[in-house]
Amino acid sequence: MAAAANDQGAASGVPAPRPVRLAHHDYPDGLLMSHTLPAALIDTLRARLGDRARPGESLARYTSFRIGGPADVLVLPDTREELAHALATAAAFGVHVTLLGGGSNVLVGDAGMRGVVVKLGRGFARIDWNHAPEAARGSARAGRRGLGASEERSAAPAARAPDGPPDESISIQAGAAAQLGRLARAAVAHGLAGLEYAEGIPGTVGGALFMNAGAYGGEVAHAVESVEGLERDGRALDLPGHALAFGYRRSALPPGFVVSAVRFRLRRAEPGQVRSRMDEARARRTAAQPHGRANAGSIFKNPNGDHAGRLIEVAGLKGARAGRARISERHANFIVNEGGARAADVKVLMDVAQRVVWERSGVWLEPEVQLVGSW
């Protein structure tokens, strides 16, 4: 029988969770972290961004978990200039900035997030094929299905898939807010290999870079050529891919650095083979992962030589509940929101999974989902 946990974390012999420990919560010294931001800061942001500077905005709608309290102020810049202005304004007032990204690998605390929260707008969702040779620009009509409007506008129409020497290297650039799965599908439509494993991985290009997202033997690090972005004070900074020191589900982006675009180096391949690999990745993901319930993707990193989902299942925790959150019965490394779940509910299940797996298997599970905000 699956174990169950109540809101306080005690149930049927399951150990009570430890106090909340944030996996990613490093606020630089001297920066303002409070519910009350200077009115002048809000006025300055609104003067440039209008209603895209939103004090007290709930963050639940911006995360795939559909969980999270309010931001002190949420800003949604559409251009690099607007982003630079928001960062420089926050720096001038000594206020911390957090980049939310696509919200797919994050758990926002029930009390929300302090300071300025940045979520990149549609202007950062473009995919630029102009870095590719003329034959590789645009996409076949069938390949453009599923692209967002801003992404589709950046692709000139073409009558056929690209041709050329096998394994020819092709450079493309994607905005940090472009959906990783859409980029993968577009690349496959162009007959380009290197991202086909990413079909179905939720989240944005920027978030995928930060976490070095991957699956089935592929990962973002394998294809990153360079990164464009802004420093904490709004100054532009470009980085070569090798400077990011990628590791398993991590990268070494500078503190406070905000990614605006990523350039990928892909290779030309036989379109049928690339599409077959993408279809295989999609089928494996569809068969193994939960659907129809809000979730944040994999909760824990896989330990060396094993799988977090297997360890949680062996521990008897499939189906365990805390409030309206539940460990998926389809894949134990997923926690789903069954409607109205709180961040605290999810954290209870994470703590229970870590403790029980440690007691029964001697393995400590490291969170893959990022815990941010106030609890």
pLDDT of residue 154: 42
- Mean pLDDT across the chain: 84
Q: Reply yes or no on whether 152 is catalytic.
A: no
Catalytically annotated residue among 249, 268, 275, 342: 249
Q: Reply yes or no on whether 366 is catalytic.
A: no
pLDDT of residue 5: 42
What is the value of pTM for the model shown?
0.79
Distances (CA, A) of 337 to 153, 216, 331: 35, 26, 14
| Same fold flag, 125-286 and 293-372 | no
CATH class held by domain 293-372: alpha beta
18 secondary structure, DSSP code: P
Q: How far apart are CA 344 and CA 373, in angstroms?
A: 12
Catalytically annotated residue among 54, 126, 368, 374: 368
Q: How far apart are CA 295 and CA 328, in angstroms?
A: 10
Q: What residue ranges do the domains of the chain occupy? A: 39-119, 125-286, 293-372
3-state secondary structure of 15: coil
Q: If you count them, how many residues does the chain have?
A: 375
With beta carbons less than 8 A apart as the criterion, state whether 274 and 263 touch.
no
pLDDT of residue 256: 87
pLDDT of residue 296: 94
Catalytically annotated residue among 298, 321, 328, 342: 298
Q: How far apart are CA 124 and CA 100, in angstroms?
A: 14
Q: How far apart are CA 304 and CA 258, in angstroms?
A: 30
* Packed helices 39-49 and 80-92: angle between N→C axes, nearest 10 degrees: 170
CATH class held by domain 39-119: alpha beta
Q: Reply yes or no on whether 265 is catalytic.
A: no
One-letter amino acid of 74: L
CATH class held by domain 125-286: alpha beta
With beta carbons less than 8 A apart as the criterion, state whether 155 and 139 touch.
yes
* Blockwise average pLDDT, block size 10, the chain, 375 residues: 39 41 39 71 98 98 97 97 97 95 93 97 90 44 38 37 64 95 91 89 91 87 95 93 91 92 93 89 84 92 96 98 97 97 98 98 96 92
* Burial (Cβ within 10 Å: 0-12, 13-18, ≥19) of residue 141: exposed
> Which backbone phi and psi does 303 adopt, to 5 degrees?
-70, 160
